[in-house]
Amino acid sequence: MNKPLQEGIQLASEIVNMVNEIRNDVTVILAPPFIHLTEVERIVSGSKKVFTAAQNCSDKHSGAFTGEVSASMIGSAGANYVIIGHSERREHFSETNTQLADKVDIVLENELIPIFCCGEPLEIRQNNQHFEFVANQLTESLSHLAQDQFGKIIIAYEPIWAIGTGETASWEQAQEMHAFLRNHLRDKFGSELANSSSILYGGSCKPSNAVELFACPDVDGGLIGGASLNARDFMDIVKSF
């Protein structure tokens, strides 16, 4: 929840003007607030490298749910992706794994791509229960999907314990969890789908640590927070691939 409309448009424009600096096989997805989405989509529509996402969507198709935004509305604005289950949505709005399963279904029904977030808080990490915790998030929200449906999903791992806590996640810890997630997908859906699935890292990625994070064999990209609010910082991260 950052930047009024005009500043958001300026940020998106700056990023689009820099995309010629990145490799052709790198995709950039911008996830602005809802009121920015139509304008940002207009800005990126001419680019073959930049796409838009919504930060959230309703678990209902339509109806008397004042203040909510449906997946079909997001699609009609031109977006291609929807972030589902971000740690802040889970924490501040008490979104459950069951509710997120419904959101994933609705997003897929509307031919959008879910960016499904998972990750553990500090106490779970300290109790050495992080693998079990994250596996349960995936199982309760995604295990009902058919293989072809799951093949459309992007996973984003957020080590909540390393965001705003003073703790720091090392590249070794990131790789360890990403490898676990890929093995979890392999057990459920097979090696081909597991190897082709994108698993993004969402734990305070910034220009100073992006190179070592993206060098990890199982880290396929980043879910960037605060560093995305500055076009130069964001593009420096993108160029780290």
Residues with catalytic function: 86, 158
CA atoms within 13 A on the CB side of 20: 3
Burial class (CB in 10 A: 0-12, 13-18, 19+), 124: middle
- Number of other CB atoms surrounding residue 239 within 10 Å: 15
Residues linked to residue 116 through DSSP beta bridges, in sequence order:
84, 155
Phi first, then psi: give them for residue 82, nearest 5 degrees: -140, 130
Burial of 147 (0-12, 13-18, 19+ CB in 10 A): exposed
Q: What is the spatial distance between Cα 151 and Cα 145, in angstroms, rounded to a whole number? A: 9
